[in-house]
Structure 1
Amino acid sequence: MPTPVRDALEKALAGINDSASDGRVTFTKVYTERARAEADAADQRAKAGVRLSPLDGWVISIKDLFDVAGETTTAGSSILRGHAPALADAPTVARLRRAGTVIVGKTNMSEFAFSGIGINPHFGTPGNAADKSRVPGGSSAGAGVSVAEGTSRMGLGSDTGGSIRIPAALNGCVGFKPTENRIPKDGAFPLSYALDSIGPLARSVADCAATDAVLANEEPWTLTPAPLNGLRLAIPRGRLFSQMEPEVERGFDGSVARLTKAGALVSDISIEDLLQELADAMAKAPFVAIEAAAIHADWLEDRARDFDPRVLARIRVGAKAGAADYIRLVNKRKELILRMRDRLADVDALILPTTPIRAPKIFDLISSDDQFWAANGLVLRNTTVGNIFDFCGISIPCPQTKGLPVGFMMTALAGQDRRLLRMAAAVEAAFKS
């Protein structure tokens, strides 16, 4: 007999209370009574043999940048606390409600989604699910913790430079970043108009695939793993493999060995020239910082003291760029995307560590700007490539790693989302065998 949804919800609520009392601050808002009503409704549907979708009855969380009707969306900031409440649910939230999910609460995040670390000076920092003294990864920090600790079956997140895949990797769950234009972004407070993607963190590739279909407003589909035998996987050796912790290297190499044994065709590929041209193009300011400066222009200076200083510093870098700089960068990005598509024409997916390091200590990064910026740059380095080059991507936990989780990332060209999910399902099965 399946566990009644109300029982699953009460277990989640108890876990949220335990986590809060332990100082994790995983959730910024909990919908206790509404969630109980939704859970009871799901149980009644189940008794009647009615199922709204494959997600019906799932206890889920949503990142605190998605609009919920009647509530102010804070996006992890103190600046937005006084803003007008949302008039309607974000389309993604509305689709999840229609699918019969039980939304238990809103999860904590990096302020304005602008950090891969997950530290938040306004609401507190969720401790990593594997070790509460360590960072959760960002910016979908609470989403990753909520899934990994079991208070949500799925956490709705956003990914601009790795904000789904990083917390998935550091907490030991699965995180799927779809192609940028696949899921509507209305009602989600933006970080970058061009790079933001909306997607799920969950316990399995199958749960990510089921959620993706609902978010994309598509019919449910059967996730059949792709054959591993003959799958063409390429490793982009070079700068994306520098400064890697030995534990991450061992976890990645062990994962590759399993796939090779299963018949996957693994080879090295060089994309160093494209990455260097990208670095040169963004030498003055990163793409995301320029767009963030436009988004925050109305309060960037008037409310400067209310920002997380580290977020403010990154936005100010973007504010120094001019219109000509931005236009040149937009055009260069288009060119690089086309050249990357040609480069990967004979490859099914790129594979690499999601992050070259495991979760650092919260105290160390709060105490030292140098350590924070070094760690932030490293955790974002590999994942950001997927956003800039318009990939879809997924992070899966590496098997048999000791201690802290390590993420294994697969990334494919834009529009190959379902194909990537099928490949990821096969890889996940190989990792568990």
Structure 2
Amino acid sequence: MTTLWQASQQLLAGETGPESFTASALHAAQDPAKEGARVFTRRYVSQAAQQATDAAQRWQKQQSRSAIDGLPVSIKDLFDVQGEATTAGSHLLLNAAPAVANASVVDRLQQAGAAVVGKTNMTEFAFSGLGINPHFGTPANPWKRAEQRIPGGSSSGAAVAVADGMCLGAIGTDTGGSVRIPAALCGLTGFKPTASRINQAGTLPLSTSLDSIGVIAHDVRSCWLLDSVIAQQPLEMQEVDLHRARFAIPQTRVLDGLDSDVADAWKKAIHTLQQAGATLIDIPLNELDELNSMNARGGITAYEAWQWHQQTVLAQPEAYDPQVLVRVQRGSHLTAQDAEVLYQQRQAWQRRVNAALVGFDALLMPTVPCIAPGIASLDDPQRYMEINALMLRNTSVINMLDGCALSLPCHTAGSAPVGLSLASVHGDDARLISWSLAVETALNWRS
């Protein structure tokens, strides 16, 4: 399958135009044998096709707007598009007032000439790492699709759209792992930047303290390219040598209870990186255990989500996905004083974790500790909550840190998808994505 990076390189070399890429994506999105009906909450078929046609003319005149001019991308269903209601995967907002302006990232995509093929489905209001949506349906994971496994969330449709060729890259959000989890479970690459790098204006919030806007694509270069379009300041990719790498592997929390598929892929990846010359150092990082107590009553996410949802929950609780409603309602038990304590605890925790990571190029960890379970197996509310907590366990560390992270595939081709995460501190995005490219190359994924 052609990646966003490869397609862009073909355009830049004058080898092809963007129409074929967008036509192929639109065909896949409308193919009844695929997951398009559950991947998208809205499709922009004629608009995307016209954008690709217009972009082709610009490329012919050597007047392209960007390196992705005319290439197909998707946007998550919580980004405003002028004149449309932003539904965030919920029936509650189907009749909401239309957005008066585009979200900042949508404007940037339009300015770059991207062919936006549609809005992608998601966990209702982005409040779960599983990707299940009872309102619009749950798009099935591409791996062993007949088994109907979860796609991961909350950016579920974003990942399946990329995996199924309905776009070459997707814009999602990540509050506790919502870009990296579906990327890991669907065999893709997901990049969560430092939150402040991407303007979140016009994005429906979950938790404003933890929300970030990220990207999903097939490989590191494609994520870097898409990030460079939506970010206010593009990252400068650097050439790095794994022989000079010092990667930390936390021994607290993130390696607990790995299933056999994840454990095997993790061990092989670590061995490969050591063979490639990287120095891997186990560190205690006991601070990670403190997150359990900080989040015991729902934490910052539940408190801030309740502030946004309070009136709607009180008026129409029956309209919510019951699993999302339970998580939102936990915030009702937290006071402003409780929240202030949480914010102070987070700041102190960040200072201590940042100090522990001085001298390391990145943290390494499995993105999620298990492969994708079946959708039907999560009908039981208790199992839903247990698996959801497990999915979010590792990735949420980086949102609390206000850092940056990238998940890339580390499994053997044909086996269950498993993600390897590289993560770093606030503002270290350029170095992180450079190291990620080196790791991807060593693991012999896309180079």
For residues 246-300 of structure 1, give each alpha carbon's deviation from its aligned partner in whole angstroms, at most 9, with x where no partner exists.
110110111111111111000101112x123232233222211111001111211
Residue 349 (str. 1) matches residue 365 (str. 2): no
1:379: which partner in 2?
391
1:23 Cα deviation after fit: 7.4
Matched residues in 1 for 2:35 and 2:361: separation?
Answer: 44
1:163: which partner in 2?
178
What secondary structure does 2:313 align onto?
A: coil
1:229: which partner in 2?
243
1:416: which partner in 2?
428
For residues 52-104 of structure 1, give each alpha carbon's deviation from its aligned partner in whole angstroms, at most 9, with x where no partner exists.
11222221000000000110000001111111000111011100111111000
1:22 Cα deviation after fit: 5.3
Q: Which one of 275, 290, 293 corresponds to residue 280 of structure 1?
A: 293
- The amino acid that maps onto 1:304 is P
Q: Which runs of 5+ in 1 are unaligned?
A: none
1:405: which partner in 2?
417
Q: Is the 8 A contact 1:179 1:415 kept in 2?
A: yes
Q: Is the 8 A contact 1:289 1:318 kept in 2?
A: yes
Q: Is the 8 A contact 1:159 1:197 kept in 2?
A: yes
Residue 389 (str. 1) matches residue 401 (str. 2): yes
- Call closer, same or farther: CA 1:32–1:308 in 2, change over 3 Å: same
1:242: which partner in 2?
256
Q: Which one of 293, 303, 317 corresponds to residue 290 of structure 1?
A: 303
Residue 18 (str. 1) matches residue 31 (str. 2): yes
2:154: which partner in 1?
139
* Greater mean alpha carbon deviation, residues 108-117 or residues 145-154: 145-154
Residue 370 (str. 1) matches residue 382 (str. 2): yes
1:358: which partner in 2?
371
1:88: which partner in 2?
101
Matched residues in 1 for 2:240 and 2:169: separation?
Answer: 23
1:99: which partner in 2?
112
Q: Is the 8 A contact 1:95 1:217 kept in 2?
A: no
- The amino acid that maps onto 1:389 is L
For residues 373-421 of structure 1, give each alpha carbon's deviation from its aligned partner in whole angstroms, at most 9, with x where no partner exists.
1211111100000001111000000042552200000100000011100
Matched residues in 1 for 2:219 and 2:15: separation?
Answer: 18
Matched residues in 2 for 1:176 and 1:22: separation?
Answer: 23
- The amino acid that maps onto 1:352 is M
Structure 2 matches for 1:234-273, cutoff 5 A?
A: 234-272=248-286
Q: Is the 8 A contact 2:235 2:429 kept in 1?
A: no
2:69: which partner in 1?
56
What secondary structure does 2:24 align onto?
A: helix
Matched residues in 2 for 1:19 and 1:208: separation?
Answer: 28
- The amino acid that maps onto 1:376 is N
Residue 212 (str. 1) matches residue 227 (str. 2): yes
Structure 1 vs Structure 2: percent identity of aligned residues?
42
* Greater mean alpha carbon deviation, residues 331-340 or residues 229-238: 229-238
The number of aligned residues is 430
1:224 Cα deviation after fit: 3.7
Q: Which one of 200, 205, 219 corresponds to residue 185 of structure 1?
A: 200
Matched residues in 2 for 1:412 and 1:337: separation?
Answer: 12
1:201 Cα deviation after fit: 0.5
- The amino acid that maps onto 1:176 is F
- The amino acid that maps onto 2:255 is F
Question: TM-score, normalized by length of structure 2?
Answer: 0.93
- The amino acid that maps onto 2:439 is V
Q: Is the 8 A contact 1:56 1:100 kept in 2?
A: yes
Q: Is the 8 A contact 1:19 1:26 kept in 2?
A: no
Q: Is the 8 A contact 2:41 2:121 kept in 1?
A: yes
Matched residues in 2 for 1:3 and 1:12: separation?
Answer: 16
What secondary structure does 2:73 align onto?
A: strand
Q: Which runs of 5+ in 2 are unaligned?
A: 1-13
Residue 150 (str. 1) matches residue 165 (str. 2): yes
Question: TM-score, normalized by length of structure 1?
Answer: 0.96
